[in-house]
Structure 1
């Protein structure tokens, strides 16, 4: 699957192609982060390269986005960081590459890396409300990584780009580039990126073992414009990621992840009146990762997905909207067998009924829990039909900046479980649960409405209200076994109900002559919220699994409340050479509770950020100080996490010449060398955040 980077000469060849003369074609010249967008309520757009250079503290998707209000990163060291948006994590945040759902296992367990390289994207979008619901019912909204060349023709001509970066502390080395050539009818593009780091040291100067990462990515794109406004584009992308997990085990735990995506895009504009654009996307994704402990292959995860998507952009009177119909089939296979997970297998059967579940029943009788040392879940296949729609119209009586947005999403899912991979004595016997492996078809429906309107000439409000339904994932239902990377035993729950919530988001922006304010708040109420928590006996002692002597986690449901918000002020404190210096202050707070008032585990602590920045014609600089308060809103038996202060600084210099445009930048992270732990991480004790580091980079475009 990942043969490209197993042959270094080919990677070098791809990078050499990226250095051809070109015309710079950056989507956005500067970072564009806005609470709303005139074309679509609830949309925040950011230029990926600006996020990397100015904001990202690392190379994960969570690192790129965590400076945005109410966005955190569930970090498991430098390789893993899935974004947590307004307290929502896992499956409650949908991640798309263009309009296709990422086929990885990062939502299953937060030690699994997100199957994308943010650096290779051109733009990253955060969507909520009706703008998000067209893609699915995700309480935390949608994160959409966009590569324009995969869906539309670039400008005619040649363009190219090369990036290089080095860093201290973890010996960061990064090299990447891309090249695109486009004529009136044809386009072809190529890109390649490689990022490598070694083990890092924390704020106490201690080396964090097994924290090294190697990520390699490449893509090919070709397109044909067979008439004006009509195009066919095919693309292939491969991603390899080999990284360690800094857990408590004495033997090195590693994950080697591979993912390939093949896609076809067709679109045509202005087909007839009231239909602005019609498109069809077909993608096939093949994902595989193995988990090793001390070099022994103990776990293997494979997922294949095929998705077909028909999308129509329409206008009807003064309504603009999108209608999207998709079909997705997903096959998931899992292996857990010490030293024997080179491939997936079918277990042997004796044909003797008394053997079925014999070992599992013994543990159920002796401990009250059905512990299993076999494969942790059956092979599963899901087929889902999804219909999403949103529409937006101006509210002229409230002014030209006022819009009403509506959205809806329907999902029908058929789930099939094939237990032929599970060893006979570890099967769930029918006498314990006759419906455990039963096929089922489920339905979920969601709706959303949003209003964006100016209260006065300088005050603008946006409100989004949604009712969402989420079907439990296959691992939440079926997982029953040890997880090497997190060094924990996890019980799923076959009796989970679908998760339902009412979500309210409100943003208020006040614009002054020298000072802008932005207030953002949210409140979510969940029925049957799905979460994992540590398991304890009646005496308050943590349960330990009988095979690995590790902590036990159980998947449960409860009614729950999430609330929080942020306040941000951008103040032009002075003018220098007719350019303002901006002083930013931002405070964030959140809570997550069960309906009885008890806190849910891993609730993000309060934080305060102050930042001073200046941008001239050909250079910019900023310095920021972020204080994360002690995490003391704790679930039962959960440990507190100390506060810390994080100092960052950034400067860049831009030069334009006949030989191309250059940008050189320098960035420092955790300059106070504070010892810091991420309260959202299961591995906060063994994988603290990185100590002081300095990074330098250069970009050349032509």
Structure 2
């Protein structure tokens, strides 16, 4: 492995160069909707790559302790919802190893991709904005972004030198459903005109989550009522609170940056700690065991950002790197298993100076992961992963047509001395898109992609009981590269007071990696085995808005979205845990200092299920919110919201625990956001 680490370090010194003739640089556009995660900063509606942004008032009213729940109302996005304390984003039905979750462009260095019961080691409370990116631009971040990228942007590394001697950003909230108390802040101190130091942190405390009705699904309640055991029959009447779902999270960070017209250099150190419980899978057969699993996680993390402005052919050379040491103990009061993950990731990029309609960026990326699991239920042996990649993303505008394209070559090595395993994989990915402004207010796009992902260590080497998911998981060491070929059609229409965005996509997988239940039982747990096959994902997303009133600084508008995905594995049937058709509509009024919103979200019944999952009932939830900026010209915002106003029982089909853990009941929240 030392040789591989030396190779990874050496690759950082070798930058690919794609030269174009020099021209004057173009300043990036400005605005709240500008996406910075993609190749170039721009309005999402002007890019071939589909993008979504959560910021400002929408971010304040959507924030939850876990990232998946915060994003679940964006088009094409759902969440794993393994109880209120572990929820990772699902993009177009894809999750886990197929979605990269980043903080300021670098991975989270946790083990949330290993299993749905592991929380993401990112606190959304400190975020400034959250961006979701799909399409050609996602190749910049690695083959694990085959489904898309979620990037949480914050100010742990200062990005600007404040005009005032001290700058403050703070956010706090109170939530009724889990007796939630949370607060977070970042402070920047201007030391000189080009140097700033900062620091901050966050804290969140929650009790057991209150739900809108019965804890168990109707099928499980019927099973409990039919038992001869009085204790099991009593489970049919469980309601009110999800036992063992309290949580406590603490973060702290300190950073500094030198920022100049010629470049910048910044660093940050972050400490993350969380203690949380998982909803109980109640035993409905006499003598079966049930455990109240709790997880105690901690992470030390260091981040580096640097760039320098270049003369001549290239505009900027930049470096983004991160290192983290993560561990968590998972288990009941009697026993626990320790999961440890030490990671390093670095990306060097060389941005071309724009000439005419041509611009681009090329770079190298290296990633190292040292994973260890120690304990009676360590279902994956210790292993190391080294991944090195070369990528380029290019764009060319010719009149009304913009072309985007990218390519990535990635080398992955997975080694486990304990398991006697050592394999290397090489994957090549390409993607391209065209975006055509057909006429005023009419834009059409087409994206094509062929991407490759090396199997993860967990998919190759798993062999043991996993207490969090209550299953015995078995991998397959013979797996090859997972390949996906996709096509997407995009239409964006707009008029003076309305807009409509629509996309339809189809992705065909070869070597698709999935789990299936074998029917066997080992160590009193059902056996799930990983397999490879062919699969097809197809779906659509439509969102739009219409403004009815725009006068005297007041706007009244209605908006809505509908999305759906259908996934089938050849010879197996429906892919498991695929979100059903969803519709969301809202009406919003907003003035200079005050805004109100009402919305209803309807999730249809999901009946396309595999043999080891159950159908999920439809549900509709109504949400209300209001925000007020009492001081003109100041960044002070008060938010009052009521989610799931009518206290309905809602179960998310993508959740492993949907039959044991519904979503939150009525949740009245008060939030405060301050910027000075």
TM-score bracket for the superposition, by shorter chain length = 0.7 to 0.9
Partners of 2:471 and 2:526 within 8 A in 1:
yes
Give the aligned partner of residue 197 of structure 1.
206
1:453 CA drift (Å)? 1.7
C-alpha distance in 1 between matches for 2:393 and 2:514: 30
Q: Please say if 1:689 is aligned against 2:663.
A: yes
Q: Please say if 1:623 is aligned against 2:631.
A: no
Give the aligned partner of residue 152 of structure 2.
145
Q: Please say if 1:117 is aligned against 2:123.
A: yes
C-alpha distance in 1 between matches for 2:580 and 2:476: 29
Deviations 1:121-162 (A, max 9, x none): 222221222211111122211111223562743344331123
C-alpha distance in 1 between matches for 2:458 and 2:127: 29
Gaps of 5+ in 1: 1-26, 338-373, 420-435, 537-542
Partners of 1:404 and 1:451 within 8 A in 2:
yes
Q: What does 1:286-365 correspond to in 2, within 5 Å?
A: 286-293=325-332, 295-315=333-353, 317=355, 318-337=357-376
1:117 CA drift (Å)? 0.9
Structure 1 residues 484 and 392 mapped into 2: Cα distance closer, same or farther (>3 Å)?
Answer: same
1:38 CA drift (Å)? 7.4
Q: What does 1:234-249 correspond to in 2, within 5 Å?
A: 234-248=267-281
SS of equivalent residue, structure 1 residue 62: helix
Give the aligned partner of residue 677 of structure 1.
651
Deviations 1:620-665 (A, max 9, x none): 110001111111111134210111111101100002269x542111
Give the aligned partner of residue 521 of structure 2.
544
User: Quick check: 280-289 or 102-111, which moved more?
Assistant: 280-289
Gaps of 5+ in 2: 1-28, 36-40, 214-238, 283-289
Structure 1 residues 378 and 550 mapped into 2: Cα distance closer, same or farther (>3 Å)?
Answer: closer
**So what's the TM-score if we normalise by structure 1?**
0.83
Structure 1 residues 67 and 77 mapped into 2: Cα distance closer, same or farther (>3 Å)?
Answer: same
SS of equivalent residue, structure 1 residue 630: coil
C-alpha distance in 2 between matches for 1:678 and 1:221: 39
1:316 CA drift (Å)? 5.7
C-alpha distance in 2 between matches for 1:681 and 1:649: 25
1:44 CA drift (Å)? 2.7
Q: 1:68 aligns with which of 74, 79, 82?
A: 74
C-alpha distance in 1 between matches for 2:183 and 2:56: 14
User: Quick check: 252-261 or 470-479, which moved more?
Assistant: 252-261
1:243 CA drift (Å)? 0.7
C-alpha distance in 1 between matches for 2:263 and 2:505: 41
1:571 CA drift (Å)? 1.9
Structure 1 residues 492 and 517 mapped into 2: Cα distance closer, same or farther (>3 Å)?
Answer: same
Deviations 1:215-245 (A, max 9, x none): 21121111234x6422221111111121101
Give the aligned partner of residue 253 of structure 2.
219
Q: Please say if 1:376 is aligned against 2:386.
A: no
1:30 CA drift (Å)? 5.5
1:512 CA drift (Å)? 1.9
Structure 1 residues 48 and 568 mapped into 2: Cα distance closer, same or farther (>3 Å)?
Answer: closer
Q: Please say if 1:209 is aligned against 2:243.
A: yes
C-alpha distance in 1 between matches for 2:365 and 2:251: 27
Structure 1 residues 272 and 311 mapped into 2: Cα distance closer, same or farther (>3 Å)?
Answer: same
1:45 CA drift (Å)? 5.1
C-alpha distance in 2 between matches for 1:113 and 1:561: 28
SS of equivalent residue, structure 1 residue 206: strand
User: Between Structure 1 and Structure 2, how many residues are aligned?
Assistant: 607
C-alpha distance in 2 between matches for 1:515 and 1:284: 45
**So what's the TM-score if we normalise by structure 2?**
0.86
Q: What does 1:234-633 correspond to in 2, within 5 Å?
A: 234-248=267-281, 250-269=290-309, 271-293=310-332, 295-315=333-353, 317=355, 318-337=357-376, 375-396=378-399, 398=400, 402-419=401-418, 437-536=420-519, 543-545=520-522, 547=523, 549-575=524-550, 577=552, 579-596=554-571, 598-633=573-608
C-alpha distance in 1 between matches for 2:31 and 2:444: 27
SS of equivalent residue, structure 2 residue 268: strand
C-alpha distance in 2 between matches for 1:333 and 1:625: 44
RMSD over aligned CA atoms reads 2.2
Deviations 1:588-616 (A, max 9, x none): 22100023482111111111111111111
Give the aligned partner of residue 422 of structure 1.
none
Give the aligned partner of residue 232 of structure 1.
265
Structure 1 residues 652 and 528 mapped into 2: Cα distance closer, same or farther (>3 Å)?
Answer: same
1:533 CA drift (Å)? 2.3
Give the aligned partner of residue 188 of structure 2.
180
Give the aligned partner of residue 425 of structure 1.
none
Partners of 1:265 and 1:281 within 8 A in 2:
yes
